[in-house]
Structure 1
Amino acid sequence: MNFRQLDLNLLRVLVAIHRTRSVTEAGKSLALSQPAASNALARLRDFFGDELFVRSPVGLQPTRLCEQLAPAIQAQLLAMESLVQNHQPFDALSSQRHWRLSLSDLGEILFFPRLAAALRSESPHARLSNVSVDASQVATALEARDIDLAVGILKSQHRGIRSQLLFRERYMAISSKGGPPTRRGLSKTLSHAQLAQARFVVVAPTATFHGSVEKMLTGMKLQDRILIRPRHFGSIAELAQNTDLLCIVPEMYARDLCQRLQLQMWAIEDAPVYEVNMVWHSSTDQDADQQWMRSAIKRLFARV
C-alpha cells in the first residue's frame, strides 16, 4: 500500500458513502454520477484490500477497517477545508456564498424574511436556502457541511457541535376576538380550570416536533381536548380566526399574528419554557464567512 499512489479525491467518496450508506446518494452529494461513484469505491477497495462496505437490508454497512478510517479521514478533510477558507478574506458585499440553513416550518415563517432582507442589504449577491433536516440528523448534516448552521429547539449534545442561546420562549393561546374564552372575568393568564373548558389546535410538525405542548396538556389531563393537529403553522391564522378553538403556539408567533390580525392572546399557567438555539460545527469556528453569518443572526434574533 503506497499512499502516494492514492487519489485523495477518493477519500471524499469514502466519507460520503460512510455518511449516506449509499453509493448513489454519496455521488449526488459530490456531484458525481452513480457509475463514477461506483468506480471510486472499486478503486478504494483495491487500494485498501478490503470491501470497506457490505450490502445489508438497511443499506451499505462499513467494515471494521472502514469504521476506523472514515471518521478520522472526515475530521482531516474538515480541518483542511477550514484551513483553506481561513486564508481567504470574506467580503459580504461581494460574496456569492450560498448559505444553507436548517429551520423548522415556524422558523422559516419568523426568521427567513428578516434574514433575507438583511442579506439583500448587506450581501446582495448571496443566496439563501432552508434545507429540510430532521432534528435528530442536524449534527450529522453540520458535520458533513450539508448545512452551515441550524436554528431551533436544538441541543449541542454531539461532539464537535457548538450552540448559542438566542432566546427563551413559552407557549401562548390565541383565538378569534369573539371566540371563547372571552376576556370578561379572565386574567391575562389562563388557569388549568379555564383551559379545561376549551378545545385546542396544536401544531405537530413531523421533523421538529418535540412534544412539549402535548406533554403539558397530558399533565393537565386535557390531551383529549386536542381536536386539530396540523403539520404546519401556515394554517394557524385561519384556524384561529374561523373556529371556536384555542390555538397553542410559541409566544413570538402569537404576538406576530395578534399584531396583524384581529385575534386575542393569553399566557398559559405552568406553560413550559424552552430555549431556541443557534447550532454549528466547531470546525467552522474560525471561518470568517461563518462568523459573519452567526453575528448577523445574533444581531437580528438574539433576545438574551
Structure 2
Amino acid sequence: MNFRQLDLNLLRVLATIHRTRSVTAASKALSLSQPATSNALARLRHFFDDELFVRSPTGLKATRLCERVAPAVLAQLQALEIAVAGHDAFDPATSPMRWQMSMSDLGEMMFLPPLAAALRRQAPHAHLSNISVGAADVAAALDNREIDCAIGILQPRHRGIRTDLLFRERYVAIASPSWRPAGVKLAAARRRSRVLTRGDLAQAALVVSSPTATFHSGVEEMLARMKMSDRIVMRVRHFGALPEIALTTDMLAIVPDMYARSLQQRHDLSTWELADAPAYEVRLVWHASTEKDPAHRWMRELVHALFARAD
C-alpha cells in the first residue's frame, strides 16, 4: 500500500467507527449520511486490503490490523486537535515557552534587565536566550526560525519581515567631569551650553564601540559623514568598557543618549550633546509567520509596553 494515495479524511471515519463500533453512530458523530460513511469504509477496506471491522453480537468488531492502526490514528487526531484548539490559548503564567531573541551587547545592558524582571513576574516558567546575529543577517535568521524577534537599529526590507518602531534615539558624548573642549577653560566650560559643535569634535580624541549584533555601526557612519573618522583613536567591541575609558582618559566616548542617562546613575560622568548628531530608530523586528501566534504576540506586546516611548 502507498500511504500517499490514502485520502487522509478517511482516517477520521476509521477512528470514529472504531470508537462507536457502529457505522450509523459514526455517521451521526461525523455529520455524514450513512451511505457516505459506508462508502468511506469501503474505500478504507480497499486501501488496507482488510475488512477492518466485522459484525458481532455487540456491534462491529475491529480486525487485528484495525486494532493496530486505529488507536495510532486517534492519538494523532487528538494531538492535532489540541494543537489547533490551543492556537488561541496562551497563558504566560503556566507556559514553558522558549523565546530566542537577538540584540547587541548594549541591548542586553539596556533591555534585558527590565525584560527579565517582567518575565519572572508574568511568565515564571518561560525561557529566553539572546542569540548573536549580525544586523545584515537578521532577516535570514527570522526566516529560518533561528530567532523569534530582534531589537536594534534594524530596517530589513525582506518580504515577510514585520517591524515596530519602539523609539527614536540620538548619540551624545560622555567624558570625565574635568573634560572640556580644546581651548576652553574648565570654568568657562561649566558655564557654556552642553552642546559640542563640529569644531569641538574636530579637536577631540574619540573612542567608539563597534558591536556586530543587531546594531549598525551608526556612530562610525555618523562620524564618516561629518568627515571626522580620523578623530577616532580607539575602537572597542563592547559598550561596557566605555565609561571607565571616558573617566580615566581625555577621550570622548560617543554613545546613545539612553545609555548615557543610565550611566549617570552610577558614574560621575558629564554628558555633551552633539549639534549635528542624526536621530536613528530602534525597532522590534519579527517574521510574519508569527504575526498571529498568541505567545509571540504576547512577547511583542510586552516589549512594546516596556520600551516603546513617544518622541
Relative to the length of structure 1, the TM-score reads 0.70
Structure 2 residue 253 is matched with structure 1 residue 226: no
- Once structures 1 and 2 are overlaid, which stretch shifts more, 195-204 or 271-280? 195-204
Could you tell me which runs of 5 or more consecutive residues in structure 2 were left unpaired when the two chains were aligned: 7-79
- Paired AA for residue 190 in structure 1: L
Corresponding residue for residue 150 of structure 2: 150
Distance 2:139 2:302 in 1: 21
1:58-207 correspondence runs (5 A):
84=84, 87=87, 89-181=89-181, 182=186, 183-207=189-213
Instruction: Write out the 4+ residue segments of structure 1 that deviate beyond 6 Å after TM superposition.
Output: none
Shift of 1:213: 1.9
Which amino acid counterpart does residue 116 of structure 1 have in structure 2?
Answer: A
CA pair 85-281 structure 1, distance change in 2 beyond 3 A:
farther
| Number of residue-to-residue matches in the alignment | 228
Structure 1 residues 3 and 138 mapped into 2: Cα distance closer, same or farther (>3 Å)?
farther
Q: Deviations over 1:128-153 (max 9, x none)?
A: 11011111111111112111110101
Matched residue, 1:24:
none
- The TM-score with structure 2 as length reference comes to 0.69
- Give the aligned CA root-mean-square deviation in angstroms: 2.1
**8 Å contact from structure 1 (residues 180, 245) kept in 2:** no
CA offsets, 1:215-236, max 9 Å, x none? 3223333211111100111101
Matched, 1:255 2:255: no
Q: In structure 2, what is the Cα distance between the partners aligned to 1:221 and 1:188?
A: 22
Percent identity, aligned pairs only, is 55
The one-letter amino acid of 1:141's match is A
Report the AA paired with residue 100 of structure 1: Q
Question: Whole-Å Cα distance in 1 between the matches of residues 154 and 299 of structure 2?
Answer: 18
Cross-structure match for 2:37: none
SS at match of 1:121: helix
Unaligned runs of 5+ in 1: 7-79
Following the alignment from structure 1 to structure 2, what is the Cα–Cα distance between the partners of residues 263 and 204? 21
Question: Is the Cα contact below 8 Å between 1:174 and 1:254 reproduced in 2?
Answer: yes
Deviation of residue 97 (structure 1)? 0.9
Specify whether residues 233 and 292 from structure 1 end up closer, same or farther in structure 2 by C-alpha distance, changes over 3 A only.
Answer: same
Q: Which residue matches 1:241?
A: 247
Distance 1:84 1:156, change over 3 A: farther
**Superposed displacement of residue 84, structure 1:** 4.2
- Match of 1:221, SS state, is coil
Which residue of 1 is the match for residue 271 of structure 2?
265
Are the aligned partners of 1:212 and 1:272 in contact in 2 as well (CA < 8 Å)?
A: no
Shift of 1:212: 2.7
Hey, what's the Cα distance between the residues in 1 that align with 2:84 and 2:110?
34
Distance 1:197 1:3, change over 3 A: farther
The correspondence for 1:283, drawn from 259, 268, 289, is 289
Which has the greater radius of gyration? 2
Q: Cα gap change, 1:3/1:166 in structure 2, threshold over 3 Å: closer, same or farther? A: farther
User: Does the Cα contact within 8 Å between 1:95 and 1:126 map onto a contact in 2?
Assistant: yes
Contact 1:101 1:150 in 2 (8 A): yes
